[in-house]
């Protein structure tokens, strides 16, 4: 048993470990500057991989070995410089999710998990994924979820049934089967339609089928009509309100969809941006400023501050605004001459927009 043979790691495993180590070091260099404890953790991972490469040098090509060794040396150099690079200390301590409570009894201490964290984490990952992040066992995560009422207990594995007449005992085991999906008539019609499409076009992908079933949304049509008929412009207050009312709900919905959609990264499971951000706080720690106070800049000379300030301070602004409505709309506007794409005076843009509105109302 003393002379145990060294089992070589597969080459693909070394590639995966090298790629994952590079991602962790890159994240540490971006978020953990001067955090000595976390940087030393990545430093130890680099040293471990260096030793593993030397032990399995016979399965690695010389070119790949040179690339890995140069990259690992560069990682060590950057990690060493990151410890003394910045003088700003972390504003707050690292986030600690599990806490240990000593009850004074025999056995292991009781481990507590923040209920708010666990409730939100269970919506993003399962107990196995959460256990990897917080450094606990999967069984502990499930038990705390049951204690907080965040999960329902599963059916017992077996039950002891005793027949009252004969007195014999039976132990039936519970079989957990996946529930059979209930398909509606609409879902059946979609299935037959997709099957018919795939018979005619075998190379037609599922994504193309799904996209082909969606028409132009009603909100998109409304936006196009508003832009063509009412000429939405960011220079006008009423247009800015209309754009906020029209695009605001779409922007918020797009942000929620983006945070919830799944991203596939090499050598990792599919995770959403919200998942990366939420658990990244636990893994990478908190960095940066919290609610910085913004100093109000006192503008002494508004006319020299910007183009809008010069136009606002000039008397031409008020004159053009009053005369834009009363002027004749027979003359061609700046947008019809192609001058609308140029950066011109703000007052001229307002004048052109008012003329176009009058023209559209009379037309």
Tens-place pLDDT, residues 331-350: 333 333 333 333 334 444 44
Describe the crossing of helices 11-31 and 273-284 by its angle, rounded to 10 degrees. Answer: 80
Contacts of 31 (CB under 8 A, 6+ apart): 284, 285, 287
96 domain-assigned: no
Of 207-211, 225-229, 283-287, 289-293, give the lowest mean pLDDT range.
289-293
The residue ranking higher by pLDDT, 307 or 45, is: 45
* pLDDT for the residue numbered 338: 38
286 domain-assigned: no
302 domain-assigned: no
- The predicted model gives 141-159 an average pLDDT of 86
Contacts of 159 (CB under 8 A, 6+ apart): 171, 172, 174
The residue ranking higher by pLDDT, 103 or 47, is: 47
117 domain-assigned: yes
295 domain-assigned: no
**Between the CA of residue 355 and those of 21, 30, 158, 326, what are the distances in Å?**
62, 52, 81, 9
Q: How many other CB atoms are there within 10 angstroms of residue 72's CB atom?
A: 20
* pLDDT for the residue numbered 240: 57
Contacts of 197 (CB under 8 A, 6+ apart): 204, 209
**Mean per-residue pLDDT over the chain, rounded:** 70
Give buried/exposed letters for 36-51 (b at 16+ CB in 10 A, else e).
eebbeebbebbeebbe
* Domain's final residue, options 124, 147, 170: 147
| pLDDT above 90: percentage of residues in the chain | 2
Give yes or no for residue 210 having a pLDDT over 70.
no
Count of structural domains within the chain: 4
> 75-101: per-residue pLDDT in tens?
988 888 887 775 455 555 566 788 888
> 277-292: per-residue pLDDT in tens?
888 878 776 654 445 5
Q: Which domain holds residue 231?
A: 214-269
Tokens standing for residue 313: 């301070």
* Domain's final residue, options 99, 129, 147: 147
**Between the CA of residue 93 and those of 35, 42, 74, 89, 121, what are the distances in Å?**
11, 19, 29, 10, 21
50 domain-assigned: yes
Our measurement of the distance from residue 102's CA atom to the centroid of its chain's CA atoms, rounded to an integer in Å, reads: 38
**Between the CA of residue 188 and those of 199, 301, 347, what are the distances in Å?**
17, 70, 60
> 241-295: per-residue pLDDT in tens?
566 666 677 777 777 888 888 888 777 778 888 888 888 878 776 654 445 556 6
Tokens standing for residue 271: 């995770």
292 domain-assigned: no
* Domain's final residue, options 147, 174, 194: 147
Collapsing DSSP states into helix, strand and coil, what is residue 55? helix
Contacts of 275 (CB under 8 A, 6+ apart): 124, 125
Do 172 and 162 touch, CB atoms closer than 8 A?
Answer: no
100 domain-assigned: no
Do 76 and 29 reside in the same domain of the chain? yes
- The predicted model gives 183-203 an average pLDDT of 78
Give yes or no for residue 184 having a pLDDT over 50.
yes
- The predicted model gives 140-161 an average pLDDT of 85
How far is it, in rounded angstroms, from Cα 97 to Cα 112?
8
For tokens 């030793």, what's the residue?
Answer: 51
Q: How many other CB atoms are there within 10 angstroms of residue 69's CB atom?
A: 13
How far is it, in rounded angstroms, from Cα 192 to Cα 181?
17
């Amino acid at each position: 048993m003393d002379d145990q043979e060294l089992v070589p790691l597969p080459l693909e495993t070394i590639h995966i470990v090298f790629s994952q180590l590079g991602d962790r070091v890159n994240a540490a260099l971006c978020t953990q500057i001067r955090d000595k404890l976390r940087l030393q953790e990545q430093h130890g991972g680099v040293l471990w991989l260096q030793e593993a490469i030397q032990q399995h040098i016979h399965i690695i090509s010389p070119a790949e070995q040179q690339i890995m060794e140069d990259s690992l040396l560069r990682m060590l150099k950057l990690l060493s410089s990151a410890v003394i690079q910045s003088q700003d200390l972390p504003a707050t301590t690292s986030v600690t999710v599990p806490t240990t409570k000593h009850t004074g009894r025999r056995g292991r201490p009781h481990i507590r998990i923040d209920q708010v964290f666990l409730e939100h984490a269970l919506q993003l990952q399962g107990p196995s994924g959460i256990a990897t992040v917080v450094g606990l066992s999967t069984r502990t995560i499930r038990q705390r979820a049951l204690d907080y009422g965040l999960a329902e207990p599963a059916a017992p594995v077996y039950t002891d049934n005793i027949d009252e007449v004969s007195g014999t005992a039976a132990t039936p085991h519970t079989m957990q089967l996946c529930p059979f999906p209930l398909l509606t008539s609409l879902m059946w019609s979609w299935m037959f339609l997709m099957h018919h499409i795939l018979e005619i076009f075998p190379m037609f992908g599922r994504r193309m089928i799904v996209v082909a079933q969606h028409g132009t949304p009603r909100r998109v049509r409304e936006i196009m009509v508003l832009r063509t008929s009412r000429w939405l412009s960011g220079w006008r207050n009423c247009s800015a309100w209309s754009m906020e009312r029209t695009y605001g709900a779409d922007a918020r919905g797009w942000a929620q969809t983006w945070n919830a959609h799944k991203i596939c990264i090499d050598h990792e499971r599919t995770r959403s941006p919200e998942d990366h951000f939420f658990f990244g706080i636990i893994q990478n720690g908190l960095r940066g400023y919290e609610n910085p106070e913004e100093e109000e800049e006192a503008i002494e000379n508004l006319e020299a501050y910007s183009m809008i300030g010069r136009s606002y301070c000039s008397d031409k602004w008020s004159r053009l605004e009053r005369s834009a409505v009363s002027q004749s709309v027979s003359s061609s506007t700046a947008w019809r001459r192609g001058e609308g794409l140029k950066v011109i005076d703000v007052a001229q843009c307002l004048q052109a927009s008012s003329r176009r509105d009058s023209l559209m109302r009379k037309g």
